Every structure is written in C-alpha cells, then in structure tokens.
Amino acid sequence: MTTALDTQVTAALRRAAVRATYAPSVHNTQPWVLKLQRGELNVMADLSRQLHILDPTQRQLTVSVGCALFNARAALAASGFDAHVERFPDPTNSAFIARVTATHRVDATIDPIGLYDSVIEQRQTNRRRFTDDDVPVELVESLERAAADEGSILLPIRTEDARLAVAMLSQRADEVQLLNPAYRAELRSWTTTDIDRCDGVPVSAVPHVDGTSEDEVPIRDFDTSGTGWLPAQTHSSRKQCLLLLGTFSDAPGPWLRAGEALERILLEITRRGFAASPLTQVVEVASARAALRNELGLTWYPHILLRVGRAPLAPASRRRRLVDVLFEEL
C-alpha cells in the first residue's frame, strides 16, 4: 500500500530529477539518463553523447554527470529529505553512475546544500568579457571549502609564475586542438544556429571570433561559422581569478566527485552574484595537462580550470525534453 510518505518521496525524487537536468555539461551534451523507480532515482550516463575526440576517457562526461547528481542532491535537501547516494553501485555497468534514495524526512535547514536549489536555474556558463571587479578572498575561501566538502581540491592560481604557466599551457593546448580536423568537426557538430535545438552550444551564447579577443587564457572557439552573437573582445586574462579543480586520484569515482564539487562551486558563485566559465583545453590535451602538473608542482590531478568574475548575463543554453531523459518505472 502506498503511504503518504511514499507519495512525498516520489514527488521529491521526481523534482530532483528535473533539477538535475539543469546541470552544465561539456559542450552542453547533457549526457545523462534519469530513471525514477520506487523509492530511488538512478542516474545513468548516456554514452552515446560522449565526445570521442575531446574526451576519449569519458572524464569530462563523468564530471558532467556529477554536476547533475549534485543538483539532485540539492533538490532533495531543499525538499526536506536526506539523500543517500551510492556511486557506481553496479561494477558490471559503468554507465550506472549513482543510485539516489530519499532516506527520511528531515528539517530542510539541516543540510546546507539545500540552499543551492534556489539558484540552479540561474546558473549559466558566461563567456562574456568580465569586469575588473575583484573576486573577494572570502568568496574564494568559501569555494575551497565547498570543493573539500565534496572530496575535491580547489587551487587558486595566485603567483605570477603560476598564472603565466597556466596561460602559456592553455594557449598551447588550444592550438593543438584547433590543428586537429577531427576536433574541429566534433566542435561544429555541437555548435548550433538552430534555435529549436535542445542541446549543444548555441551561437547566441558564444563570442564572435574575429581575431580581436585579446585572450591570454583562451576561451574555446565555438564560433565555427562566424555567427557568434556575443562581443568578440573577451579579454580573458591571466590576471583574472583563475581556479583549478582536481582530485587526488584520476579515475571515474574521483571524476564524479569533481563534478559534484564543480556544480557546488558554480552554484555558490551564482548565489554570490558572480559569473564563471570553464577554460578546459589545458586539461583536455594530455601533454598540456602533464606539463601543468609539473609546472605547478601538483601531487593531484586537475580536471577543470575556471575563470571567475562579474559579467552581464549571457543567453541561456536550452535543455533536452524531459520525455527524452527522464523515465519512470513506478
């Protein structure tokens, strides 16, 4: 017999699934499938959406699914439920990323991650030019704590030597990728001028590329057809707030936790009125990633480089239809 609590749990899990779909993902591929069963939400990777050239190991895909998982956790906390998460519960199925259950009703104020539910829809990747406003030290410290709470490491890039190394290696990685015809073809397939398309990066959300960006730390060139709507001069600088996110191990489990940490960080940035954009070329090219570890003396593995600052809002990317990503078996 279905009880009132069962009904509440199902409603909370369904809402958590919907909130998960607002997560950021590499090239807005949205590589997840959500299965709602009695008393649990199963988070699956959609491997058909893997970027085989950019992401041959599925690291970025797993990080993306981790972002969706954090949104589900935050939504459950906001609904007043304690979330129990089993990560990679089936060793025989690598696409089964997590099983989430709502264990019992709690005071919604107990779990602090519930605070982030209110800004899930406001978060956006912002590729505009950032203002010269400083990012408060207190905010950066709070982001470091948030990463640690999610089993990850966040390193502010502070010294001039470290900033110069990040900029130079990012430029090198960007050049390596752009010289690869297969990479450019894959990028084109996920950049869209179709206003009805529900995935991919829309031209409305990317800078026009005309050679005047003056970027020291390059923003990815999504403007493959010369139709980018945002201003060309983005001035992504090594002097801006740069944060490097990573984990002590380099395997699917830590990648997932890095994704959860990334979304928590992005939502905290949003909650505080700032903007962020990923600059991930330097961790996507194996030689640049290895050089980055060496130059910065890292004993851990970097997964995401973030640029943080203030900027006007950018157009939002669309989301896939729920009927295509959420399946209920109740």
Q: What are phi and psi of 129, to 5 degrees?
A: -70, 135
Average pLDDT for 272-283: 96
Residue 156 or 225, more confident: 156
Neighbouring-strand partners of residue 192: 202
Instruction: Give the pLDDT band of residue 109 (cuts 50, 70, 90).
Output: low
**Tens-place pLDDT, residues 71-106:** 999 999 999 998 899 999 999 999 999 999 998 776
Average pLDDT for residues 136-140, to the nearest whole number?
Answer: 97
Pick 110 or 233 by higher pLDDT: 233
325: pLDDT strictly greater than 90: yes
Percentages of the chain per state (helix, strand, coil), in multiples of 5: 40, 20, 40
**Stretch 244-266: mean pLDDT, rounded?**
98
Q: How far apart are CA 109 and CA 54, in angstroms?
A: 41
Residue scoring higher pLDDT (2 or 12): 12
pLDDT of 228? 76
User: Quick check: 306 pLDDT over 60?
Assistant: yes
Residue 216 and residue 235: Cα distance in Å, rounded?
Answer: 7
Average pLDDT taken over every residue of the chain: 93
Q: Read off the pLDDT of each residue in 23-47 and give the average, rounded to a whole number.
A: 96
Q: Looking at the domain 137-309, which fold is it?
A: NADH Oxidase (3.40.109)
Q: Examine the pLDDT at 313 and tell me if it is beyond 70.
A: yes
pTM of the model: 0.96
Q: Which CATH class name applies to 4-123+319-329?
A: alpha beta
CA pair distance 258, 297, nearest whole angstrom: 20
Separation between Cα atoms, residue 280 and residue 255, nearest integer Å: 14
Q: Residues of CATH 3.40.109.10 domain(s) within the chain?
A: 137-309
Above pLDDT 90, what percent of the chain?
Answer: 75
